[in-house]
Each structure stands twice: as C-alpha cells, then as structure tokens.
Structure 1
C-alpha cells in the first residue's frame, strides 16, 4: 500500500457500487428507527448512522448508512440491496405516514480517501453535510472505508460529469479500496458475503471497526437476540484478517485441522477479512479453499 498511501496526499477517490432508498413522510424517522439496529432518533439533523436490518434470528439481511435529513431519511446501501430492503420496509407500513422510494438509478456515490480535500466539505463539521458542488446540491458523509475516515459523496447521476471534474487528485479502482480496507480490518457486508451472520461476529458491535448497534434503543426485528448476546457475551465468532498469497472467493470456507472454523471475505491485496472462531490465536495457520493463510487479529475499540 506504499504507492496508495503516497497518492493520498494529493487526493484519491473511488466509485462505490451502490443502491439507495429515500423514506419520506411525517413518521419517517420513527419508522426507520424501529427497523434498524442503531439509534436514528438520537442522531442530529443532518446526521449519519451506520446500521443493519436483521431477520428474526438476529442475522444481517442488509447493511446501510442512514442519513437523517430535514425532509427524508436517505439509506445508502451496497449495489443490488435497495429492492429487497424496500420490499421489507413496505411490509411493515401499517398506519405509518411514510413512503419508500427506490432512487438507485438517480444517484451515484464516490468515496474520497482520507486526506483528499473536497470543495465545500467542512472537515470540522458534522458527519453528514449538504452543500453546493459543480452547480448542484450534493450530500456527503464521514465514512470509514480504509481504517480512517474519508468522505462518501452522493450526487445526481445526471450531474456526474460536472461533479467528478471538481474532485481532487486521481480516480483509483475499487480493487485498491478493497485492498486498503482489508489492511485496515474494515468489512464490507455485501462484498465480503457476510449477510446471514450476526452483527457481533463481523465487526458491527460497539467495539468493532464498524459499530452499527445500539443496545439502548427500542425494539426491532432481531432485537431479542442482540439483547441476549449483550447480556451473555457469547458470540462464538469475531472479525479477523486472513493473510495469504492465494486468491479465494468471498464466502470460502476456512478450515483448521480438518474442521470448518469460519468463512473468508473477498480477497484483495494482502488477503481478506474473515468471520472466524474466537479460539483461533493470532498467527494461527488455516486453509482457505485449500490454500494456506494465517490469522491476524484485529484490535478492537473496547
């Protein structure tokens, strides 16, 4: 990553494959708050809250970043996720005054790496900011995709050429961003094939690299499982890194002594992040899809 790190000084940015929803109506904040793992009500306006949407077993169905704004709640998701989340949200609309709009085709997102100077972005400002750029209104959020906070920039697709022309530095491919986030121990729930897992197992707990849970908010789908895990602290897996020279697909089985001990994320750069059994020590030798790798534990914030 030496080459990438040096280029950060002059600015780098990467296009993020995305989908997105807008939730409008008088009950929008309470409605979305009641579906997600984090505390949207407590966020400022404008504000930004990472969160997950769970099934009744407490397993992740979607990961999103929720932007709380004056007129809507904007949910930024990985590519291909908006349609299923929209269907889920609409099933729960009973008497709520809300509407769910899929705006995936209308919006685009780029991530400006740490150190890139985005015109209009206030580095000492809030986590979510709206400002004028290239003659249009854009939304930006402070987001950690590499191990340090950069900026996600959301803008209308029809303004893409003008917006991109204002960005500092050089565009770098998603493969470089993936390599940086693996090095930083940051999961990407969809790209790493981590849906269907518990948030505490993949770095979304309060001490993890991507905290997206509040244990003090009201009920939501899967909340009972989250409360049990908080009380007992007995998740059997956690997020770690795998280092290895081979390449493997996201979701590949990890084995040790012939037993399955976890699953690997997308291989990029030095290896991948992984959901792996807690009893495996730092430096443990494992096999991923028949290829050798070693476990590197990720420092938590607790």
Structure 2
C-alpha cells in the first residue's frame, strides 16, 4: 500500500503497470483504496423524513441493510453532489467523495431548521477498500471474508480478524464489485490479506480507465454543478414517486416534457483524443462537449473513447471534436 495514507485520502495513481491493473478489474480481481470517499452519519428521530426531503431518491422506504444512489440538488435542479445513502437501522450513512463533503455538509446544515437531525463526519473513523472483477468473491473468501448473497447496494456487517467490517455489494455497473468498510487502523492488514489472496493492487489511473469503459460519469469531471439530473443519464438516482424534495419541481418538469436538450454518452474516437472541454461540432455548429477521455488498453487492442454531452438535435449527424471524428458507442466497452 505504498504512497497511500492510512485513511487513504490521497490514493496511489498506479502500482507500476496500469494496463495490468486495468485487466485485473476487467477479468481478474483488482483491489483499490476508497479512502478518497467521505462518510457522514445522520442520527435523530427526523433523519429519514428530513433527508428524504433533501435528495433525489427514496430514503423513506429504504430497508435496513440497503442503500440508494442519489443527487443533492439546489432549488434550480442543478446537481450539487452525488452520494450514496445506506440505512443502518439507528442511523443513515451518507457516502460521497471527499471533494463534495464540504458542500454536502454546508447544505445539510443550512436546511436543518427545527428538525431532530444530527450530522457527524466520520471520514477519519471509517474507510474502505474496493474489489472489482470476476474473481472478487473468491478473493474475499480466501481472505476469510464471507461474501454473502447480496443485491446491488445491499450490505451486511461482519467480523474479520477481530475487526468490525461491513461487506457491501457495490456492483451495478460491474456486478463483481465489492466494498469492505473498516476502521483505518485495520486497513493495512486488510489490504495485505486481500493481495495475498490474489487481488492485484490497482491505482486511480486504472480505475479511471475502468469507469470510462463503463461510461460512468464522475462528479467534478463529467457531472458539474450546472448539470441537470436527466442530462447525466443516471436515472438510478431519481425517484418520481417519493414526493417533494429540493429541486424536485425542475426534475418533474423535465420528466413531463419527455426529453432533455442534451444527453451524456460515450463516443468512439478516430484521431487524436480530444481533451476535456473540447467542443463537439456537427455541420459546422457546436453541438456538445467532451468531459473525459482515455485510450483503453483492451485485450483486443487499444481503443480511444471519450465521454461527454451531445445535444439532441445532433444525434445521427457526423460529429467532430478537434481533429477527431466521433461515433456514439454503447458501454460497457470490453
């Protein structure tokens, strides 16, 4: 776990072979540091009702041991943060990127008026490792961790080497994906055990390749504070039956209209890979913007792929970004 802090706030970019690390995530088992995620605990008798009125997904009907992905919006419907919420029975646990933590805490504090809700940042008390790849379950079992039969975003508490852990099935985009939440003091021993059991250490560079291959937008890179939920394509973050929440009026207006003006997607690149921020053009008009891109070192050969937003009227037209030609493509790309 070289060059990684105890709580993993500054994880390693790579472990010497990004291609091999990427392959492990695709076809073996890669282990990676999730200390760059923040953990926030909500307690108090009003916590469920209050948070349900703050975020875009349904917390009210969330069973213990289950989680949801959601957006935190402003009153204009623009995305301020993306996060996961987990029902732990006596509390709710919010998981978001550390870069979004302060914004989330500020919004939480602003909207707690006379509600019985206490918000506590526990990021320095709880960290996590992730495992992705078809060999992940076997690696967990060889390390002495039972991987229970859990659905997407379901979790179970357990004990490992006298340490309390939580095993989370984190794989919608990658079905063979798990997280182990654990106190920072035990993270090194857990890392070593998983590597010994067959997991390949994988850094943030390989993880970025993996998310681009899966077409997953990242907050701060592909999802900006000016973007609207439906533009991102992340419909899993929205509930249209839960009732009112911050920004809900805009989300409902878009739903009733039936479409957004632009949509996030993946594009095969022929030519030089365009930088993030490069505009897309069709028939001489600006029709979109690149937000991410990478040359994916796939087993069948390298493929250049970009992610970005394309205006609806440009669908089906010949697209260019800089000197490259773009073709919409389906994800995942393998």
TM bracket, shorter-chain basis: 0.7 to 0.9
TM-score (norm 1): 0.86
Conservation of the 8 A alpha-carbon contact between 1:281 and 1:295: no
Is it true that 1:271 corresponds to 2:305 in the alignment?
yes
Segments of 4+ moved more than 6 angstroms: none
Note closer, same or farther for the CA distance 1:191–1:299 as it changes in structure 2 (3 Å cut): closer
1:256 — aligned with what? Answer: 282
Distance 1:299 1:10 in 2: 19
Unaligned ranges ≥5, structure 2:
1-17, 297-303
SS of residue in 2 equivalent to 1:42: coil
Does residue 141 (structure 1) correspond to residue 177 (structure 2)? The answer is no
Distance 2:147 2:319 in 1: 44
Structure 2 distance, partners of 1:258, 1:283, is: 11
Q: Cα distance, 1:203 vs. partner?
A: 1.6
Post-superposition CA distance 1:32-84 (Å, at most 9, x none): 11101000112210111000001111111000011111221111112311111
The equivalent residue for 1:233 is 258
Inter-partner Cα distance in structure 2 for 1:170 and 1:186: 22
The alignment of Structure 1 onto Structure 2 pairs a total of residues equal to 293
For 2:249, what is the secondary structure of its paired residue? helix
Gaps of 5+ in 1: 206-210
- Structure with the larger helix share: 2
Task: State the alpha-carbon separation in 2 of the partners of residues 79 and 272 from structure 1.
Answer: 25
Give the counterpart of 1:86 among 91, 99, 105.
105
2:12 aligns with none
Q: State the TM-score, normalizing by the size of structure 2.
A: 0.79
CA deviations 1:82-116 (Å, max 9, x no partner) are 11101101111122111111222333233211320
> Could you say if the C-alpha distance between residues 176 and 216 of structure 1 is closer, same or farther in structure 2, counting changes exceeding 3 Å?
same
Contact 2:129 2:179 in 1 (8 A): yes
Match of 1:157 in 2: 184
CA RMSD of aligned residues (A): 2.6
Equivalent position SS for 2:208: helix
